[in-house]
Amino acid sequence: MADKPVYDPADGSPAATDPPEIAAADADRLATLQRERDEYYDRLLRKTAEFDNYRKRIERERREQADQAVVDLLQELLLVVDDFDLALTVEANDAGSAFIKGIELIHAKLHDLLKRYGVRPIETLGADFDPNVHQAVIHEVSPEHREGEVIGELRRGYTLHDKLLRPAMVRVAKA
């Protein structure tokens, strides 16, 4: 009696004695399972990529919100600096000199604090007008100055780490 071939699952081939319909059905089932596996793997890769993109977008938006909060706070703080600058332009008599000295100390500490966090004033007087950092409020005829030269500063401008925080309001010479 001849030995009947035995089905070997590791081989994946049907036994030689299995009818051809069973072998075709197993091959179709195997192809279907492989196709489903490939589809699930593709979906997994897509979902993983979507989640990674979502995580990166949320992190970027969080950083942008934090940066905007800092910018908003600094712009409000600069209004206080403007008031100090204005207060220091007033002439004081001997009775008010101690008060003025106190204002000057607070003003200096405030500027040191801003400098520590990367806020720098924009130098304007004598510079050429630059619409990227200056806001021209007044154009004056001035024979002593060249055309487009900044001749006065009405409100100081500031940068934050080389990005414009607030433009300087200036007077500009014209011919």
pLDDT in tens, 132-168: 999 999 999 988 899 999 999 999 999 998 899 999 9
Question: Over the range 100-139, which residues count as b (16 or more CB within 10 Å of their CB) and which as e?
Answer: eeebeeebeeeeeebeeeebebbebeeeebeeebbebeee
Tell whether 136 is covered by a domain: yes
Tell whether 57 is covered by a domain: no
* pTM of the entire predicted model: 0.59
- For the chain, the domain total comes to 1
Contact indicator for 125, 152 with CB cutoff of 8 Å: yes
Tell whether 150 is covered by a domain: yes
Q: How many CB atoms lie within 10 A of CB 73?
A: 11
Tell whether 153 is covered by a domain: yes
pLDDT tens digits, one per residue of 15-35: 555 567 778 888 889 999 999
Query: Cα separations (Å) of 98 from 2, 87, 92, 94, 145?
Result: 119, 14, 10, 8, 39
Alpha carbon distance 70, 73 (integer Å):
5
**CATH label of the domain that carries residue 144:** 2.30.22.10
Tell whether 138 is covered by a domain: yes
- Give CA 32 to chain center in angstroms: 48
Tell whether 95 is covered by a domain: no
Q: Residue 172: which domain range?
A: 121-175
pLDDT tens digits, one per residue of 31-83: 999 999 999 999 999 999 999 999 999 999 999 998 888 888 888 888 888 88
Tell whether 158 is covered by a domain: yes
Tell whether 149 is covered by a domain: yes
Contact indicator for 153, 170 with CB cutoff of 8 Å: yes
